Amino acid sequence: MMTRTKTQKKEKSRRYPFGKHPAYDQAFEKAKNKSPIFNENARNLYNTDPINNPEAGIYELKGMPGKDGHYKVGTDWKLAAIPYYKSELAQLNERFKAWQRKQVENGQLLTPSEEWPDMLLDLKLKNQAILDVRKLEVKELEATIAKQEKAAQKKRKLKMLEHGPLTTGVPSSLTEEERKKWSEIDGQEISRNDDGIPFISSEDSPYYGMPLYHYFKMAKAWIKQMGLDNDSLFKERDKLFEEAQKNAVLKKLVLPSKKMGIKALKQQKLTKISEKDFPDWPEDAKPIHEIEVA
């Protein structure tokens, strides 16, 4: 089976085969060279960097959703590039139709000519070339967003339950404002059903669908079981200190004078935890879609 060559891919991105319309070719290459998306050297000519902010770049090219092809700059609304060039081409098409009628009305032709006059054709080709480059820019930015999202998902997955269900990320006091912003626990996304019940909504999580009510109960029991609660840590810290002192006496070493910090001990224990140590779903826990609120 034949694979597409780079030349074939390049041709597919163009409206016309290379060489058919030199005016189009020149305008296409010029627009691409001046593009901050395809040419890194052109980025300092613009106020925004579309590669670092691809969503804003797409707004400038296509317009914001539901805003009829416009995007906001400060307090003003501007027509985005793609609808602008489409409008220019529509106006050129109307000018061509008027030219066709004039040729017949002046007696120069019996039927309208389908060939564009040079001046209008030149404008049409240039606008088409710029429009085609703008469409390519959208595709490039969409690919950038997809790539960034994939990298973010990978990063989130690495952080998800990194050391188990420790209930990290829970606000200290759940005010109404904090509750609206709170959307993550232990690297897992939180959503709420129609009844307002929060639950784990990360599909990659082993606790996907678990209401936070059950998650908190499970985590509390697991933290104690793993000796990660403060009481257990203090006891273990004291035990380790006593053992270190006895060992120093036996070996005639200098007696240790400081106990290990609780945070250091906890971190030491966390590094030994793996996914096999994670707790199973509690027997009384139901996934969110099975919960009925009276």
Please check the confidence at residue 236 and state whether its pLDDT lies above 80.
Answer: yes
Q: What is the pTM of this model?
A: 0.65
Q: What is the mean pLDDT of residues 177-183?
A: 74
Q: How many residues does the chain have?
A: 294
Q: What is the mean pLDDT of residues 7-12?
A: 54
Q: What is the mean pLDDT of residues 233-258?
A: 87
Q: φ and ψ at 14, to 5 degrees? A: -105, 150
Please check the confidence at residue 174 and state whether its pLDDT lies above 70.
Answer: no
What confidence score (pLDDT) does residue 99 get?
94
Rg (CA), the chain: 33
What confidence score (pLDDT) does residue 229 get?
94
| Each residue's pLDDT tens digit, 123-154 | 999 999 999 999 999 999 999 999 999 998 88
Q: Kindly report the number of other CB atoms within 10 A of residue 189's CB atom.
A: 17
The CA distance from 168 to 180, in Å, is 17
Mention every residue, 6+ apart, whose C-beta is less than 8 A from residue 29: none
Cα torsion angle, 267, 271, 277, 279, sign:
positive
| Each residue's pLDDT tens digit, 204-232 | 999 999 999 999 999 999 999 999 999 99
Domains of the chain, by residue range, sit at 9-159, 176-290
